[in-house]
Structure 1
Amino acid sequence: MTGLPPKPAARPDRVSLWRYVKLFRQDILSAQPARLYRAWMAEFRTPFFRSYLVNQPDLVAEVLKARPMDFPKSDRIGAGLRPLLGESVFLTNGDTWKRQRRIIDPAFEGGRLKETFPAMWAAAAAARDRLAARAGQVVEIEEEASHFAADVIFRTLFSIPIEDAVASRVFHEFRAYQRTQPILNLAAFIPGPRWMPRFFRRDTKAAAKRIRGLITQLTERRAAEIAAGTAPDDLATKIMTKVDPETGETFTPAEMVDQVAIFFLAGHETSASALGWALYLLALFPEWQDRLAEEAQAGLKEGTFSEVAKLRVSRDVFRETLRLYPPVPMMVRETTCPERFRDRDVPKGAQVVLSPWHLHRHERIWERPDDFDPGRWQTEAGKTCGRDAWIPFSAGPRVCTGAGFAMVEGPLMLALLLRDLKVGRVDGRDPVPEAHLTVRARDGIWLQVEKR
């Protein structure tokens, strides 16, 4: 074993509110105390509200699965993301959210994945060729992962490669945006209605406006193709033409822009984060990389959807990566009535924080929680923890619509890349994880790439 995968240093137990806010905006992970890796529940108080981080699996299930409508998404997260995402399904609650899911979910049903697979394979092959052209070099792999993940989204959503002029501009604008936007905007710590100033960083709103303008071009172009009867049968067409069975309505053009924005954020940003960390972990643990490569060479030959089911090692590596480096490290819900958690009163309006980062590394749940061990997923203990304490895509009714999509995309990409290439660790350049919109590496992930 090469050693433990890196994780951020924790802060001291007690810091001032101002220091905490500053740390939170810089990196949500290192802003938390080490005791959260053992705590079932922790309370945080500010002058304006109380937060309760919950790690106890049955309480996590209560919030996400048993009573999700009693714990809607908190607008303290939405405040920072709304300029880009508008009223997308990621931010809405109640009847609006239910209507959006009724329209979106059918496009991502199991049978639909097979239909999108050729586009996914084409993007993966293009990524393999792009990386193969840099064999013998040290490569910043997060940038390559971002390029691939964006290509998958554009090919499956709009049937265009990332080389398309508008697609390329969206990708580059978003790449810059995600590096400057914290998970929580300063307004998250201050009470008040939506009309209050949100204290965005310089150019955040302008960048969001540019991205949404480009997405508008794509959706308007597709609407014209639908009207003319020339639109390809891809995800965008399916979603734009789907009629809500309860209201008889389709998405308006403005609503579709909101949804495409979250598809790009959820489908590109999170996939890029997971893929980058997976390749680093396989460089750090070459014995697992060799096992994955052998499996891919034996089972990945024709590029058919049925071959993905054979990628057991690749799938377990991807699961373990999502455990150690969940792309979305924290989720925030809000209480709509007083609650009682672990003999503690939780008032109405309190913030309930669910942290995949801490839950996935919890010392009282997982065996060797900081170790990289894809083999754990074939053990009874690992399977139990996977059911009770593994939520990279959330859980319950609000589970990520694209979870199934991601669990095909990630293992496929790892298998196709490492069937033909190998990656190696670069001495002195081990990445340090930190959270912006997702869990990324502070100075990128640098790997040596060679042909296999």
Structure 2
Amino acid sequence: MTRMPPKPPSRPAKVSLLKYMMLFRADLLSSQPERLYRAWMAEFRTPFFRSYLLNDARLIKTVLKERPDDFPKSGRISEGLRPLLGNSVFLTNGEVWKQQRRIIDPAFEGGRLRDTFPAMRDAGAATVARLQRMADAPVEIEAEASHAAADVIFRTLFSIPIEHEVAGRVFEEFRDYQRSQPILNIGAFLKLPKWMPRFHRRRTKASAKMIRGLIKQLTDERMAEIEAGTAPDDLATKIMTTRDPETGETLSAADMVDQVAIFFLAGHETSASALAWTLYLMAIFPEWQEKVAQEAQVLGECDFKVMKRLKVSRDVFRESLRLYPPVPMMVRESTCPERFRERDIPVGSQMVLSPWHLHRHQRLWDNPDGFDPTRWETENGRQCARDAYMPFSEGPRVCTGAGFAMVEGPLLLSMILKQFRIEAVGPEPVPVAYLTVRSKDGIWLRLTPR
């Protein structure tokens, strides 16, 4: 009998505008009609704007790679995150965004990944030790993956573990923020004038204010260490001391709070989603679990070079990112009249680039809903990897931390499976979209020491 990953959310044949808005606000994955998993392009009209889903590789290339300045990031979805992220690189456009990337990108270059590897490895060891205390009992693995991912972020960014008082408080406050933050902000949906209120929930704003205050404490302390010449050589120091090669400017203290907020959101929330789903897939595909565990025997007092030897783990992680991309959709806005696939695209239209649909597209992938890490060695897999795979986006706005994530994910996966056999317990998880793709009621596993 062929086993499959958890069924995708229900795919309604057709929905009305009102029902779509209600479903979208509750969970955007469940609101997507079946036809979108076969369409090259689809139009969706509302009284406020037009939206176009693009699954055509040529159009995706146009929007993300060839003419990104003509399709800036839309505020309709990201507006809901502004209380936390402020003017971060995730939300900005144009020259402000370009300057931010010129300063931030050097911190995540290949050489810097090698420098951060010991901190990732230490976070992995701490995760294994934490899980050992939970062995042989049901564990909600999304919560533990979140803890591990937050530990990685604080160790690599500020050289402090999650047990540090401020780091721990940021993590706890972020859990409250995540539970209170809807994916859709009504003010942004209507695209109200800037002077009108945005209808952010009171609890959301309070959590965001607390998180930003704690981050400011960390960045102020780091700035003082930089000025005193005692700062550790980590990502925060690198970013705060890098000058824009064109202007000579560095990020201000206020700018740094915005950027650390997105590093924590993107680096913690997305990594936790990816690791949790990968562990679940290993639980229901034990033959792949054993392959990863066997490969993981190369781990020990390892250094960065060991990553070249974790090929199975990397292919498994890539396949998990295909089935459960942490960021299911990205939205750009057209600033020029366009004509795509014989349709006129008005200025101000929302261009939706959806890894969730693209990665499961029925006319592109062999066995699109199935779990098959060997696909990356097939002709279809290699073609789709070029044209239909974008868990970290593409083009100039590709995620700064993509390389970071592709070290962290396979490494933590290998470290965990080297020590534990895992099996699924409880109900089959149902993927839904919160800030990232998570399970509706958690992912429950039992870990048994090997």
Q: TM-score, normalised by structure 1?
A: 0.98
Partner of 1:168: 168
1:313 aligns with 2:335: no
In 1, Cα distance between the equivalents of 2:107 and 2:402? 13
Note if contact 1:323-1:360 (Cα within 8 Å) is conserved in structure 2. yes
Q: Deviations over 1:319-369 (max 9, x none)?
A: 000000000000000001000110000011100000000000000000000
2:90 counterpart of 1:95? no
Deviations 1:53-99 (A, max 9, x none): 11111111111111111100001122101110001000100000000
Cα deviation, residue 301, structure 1: 2.6
Listed as ranges, the gaps of 5+ residues in structure 2 are none
CA distance in 2, matches of 1:285, 1:194: 50
Query: For 2:412, what is the secondary structure of its paired residue?
Result: helix
* Residue equivalent to 1:283: 283
Distance 2:204 2:283 in 1: 35
Partner of 1:268: 268
Residue type of the alignment partner of 2:354: S
Return the match for 2:431 from 430, 433, 438.
433
Moved >4 Å (runs of 4+): none
Aligned pairs, number: 449
SS at match of 2:152: helix
User: What do the CA deviations read for 1:29-65 (whole angstroms, capped 9, x no partner)?
Assistant: 0011111100111111111110001111111111111
Would the aligned equivalents of 2:180 and 2:203 in 1 still touch at CA under 8 Å? no
Query: After superposition, where does 1:117-266 map in structure 2 within 5 Å?
Result: 117-266=117-266
Find the aligned partners of 1:200 and 1:263 in 2 and give their Cα distance: 22
Contact in 1 for aligned 2:5/2:281 (Cα 8 Å): no
- Asked if structure 1 preserves the Cα contact closer than 8 Å seen for 2:29 and 2:432, the reply is yes
Give the CA deviation at 1:176: 1.8
Which segment is superposed worse, 251-260 or 53-62?
Answer: 53-62
Tell me, which stretches of 5 or more residues in structure 1 are unaligned? none
Cα distance in 1 for partners of 2:367, 2:3 equals: 15
* Partner secondary structure for residue 23 of structure 2: helix
Return the letter of the residue paired with 1:110. G
Aligned-partner Cα distance in 2 for 1:127–1:402: 21
1:294 aligns with 2:294: yes
Q: Residues 137-158 of structure 1, C-alpha deviation per residue, up to 9 Å, x if partnerless? A: 1100000000000000000000
The aligned residue for residue 13 of structure 1 is 14
CA displacement 1:198-233 (0-9 Å, x = unmatched): 122341111111110110011011011111111000
Secondary structure, counterpart of 1:78 in structure 2: helix
Q: Where do 1:327-406 residues align within 5 Å?
A: 327-406=326-405
Find the counterpart in structure 1 of residue 5 from structure 2: 4
Match of 2:422 in 1: 423
SS at 2:92 equivalent: coil
Matched residue, 1:445: 443
Report if the CA contact (8 A) 2:79-2:185 is conserved: yes
Q: Is the 8 A contact 1:159 1:232 kept in 2?
A: yes
Cα distance change, pair 6–354 in 1 and its aligned pair in 2 (3 A) = same
Q: Which whole-Å deviations, capped at 9, do the CAs of 1:122-172 have from their partners, x for residues lacking one?
A: 001100111122111110000000000000000000000000000000001
CA contact (8 A) 1:180 1:436 kept: no
Mapped partners of 2:4, 2:335: distance in 1: 45
C-alpha contact 2:6 2:429 (8 A) present in aligned 1: no
Please say if residues 161 and 167 of structure 2, whose CA atoms lie closer than 8 Å, have aligned partners that are also in contact: yes
1:342 & 1:290 partners in 2: Cα distance?
46
Q: Which letter maps to 1:401?
A: T
Query: Which segment drifts farther, 326-335 or 240-249?
Result: 240-249
**C-alpha displacement of 1:12:** 3.9
Tell me if structure 2 keeps the 8 A contact 1:25–1:186.
no
Tell me which amino acid in the other structure corresponds to 1:305.
F
**TM-superposed deviation, 1:393:** 0.2
Tell me the amino acid that sits aligned with residue 378 of structure 1. E
Cα distance in structure 2, aligned partners of 1:257 and 1:390: 32
**Distance of 1:69 and 1:363 partners within structure 2:** 31
Give, in whole Å, the separation in 1 of the partners of 2:418 and 2:317. Answer: 15
CA contact (8 A) 1:433 1:442 kept: yes
After the TM superposition, which of the residue ranges 439-448 and 177-186 deviates more from structure 2?
177-186
Cα distance in 2 for partners of 1:254, 1:179 equals 26
| 1:43-62 equivalent positions in 2, closer than 5 A | 43-62=43-62
Q: 1:24: how far off?
A: 1.0
**Residue 81 in structure 1 maps to residue 81 in structure 2:** yes
Q: Secondary structure at the match of 1:372?
A: coil
Tell me the amino acid that sits aligned with residue 243 of structure 2: V
8 A contact 1:5–1:372 mirrored in 2 = no
Structure 1 Cα separation of the partners of residues 125 and 34 of structure 2: 41
Is the contact made by 1:55 and 1:359 (CA closer than 8 Å) also made in structure 2? Answer: yes
Amino acid at match of 1:335: S
Measured after TM superposition, the shift of residue 5 of structure 1 is: 2.6
> Which segment drifts farther, 275-284 or 170-179?
170-179
Aligned-partner SS, 1:52: strand
CA contact (8 A) 2:6 2:428 kept: no
The within-5 A match list for 1:24-39 is: 24-39=24-39
CA contact (8 A) 1:5 1:371 kept: no
- CA distance in structure 2 between the partners assigned to 1:202 and 1:139 by the alignment: 32
Conserved? CA contact 1:140–1:447, under 8 Å? yes
Which amino acid in structure 2 is aligned with residue 320 of structure 1? E
* 1:450 Cα deviation from its structure 2 partner: 0.5
Deviation at 1:187, TM superposition (A): 2.0
Distance 1:18 1:180 in 2: 23
Q: Could you tell me which residue of structure 1 aligns to residue 412 of structure 2?
A: 413
Shift of 1:290: 0.6
In the aligned structure 2, how far is the partner of 1:4 from the partner of 1:222? 44
Cα separation, 2, equivalents of 1:419 and 1:79? 42
| 1:18 shift after superposition | 2.9
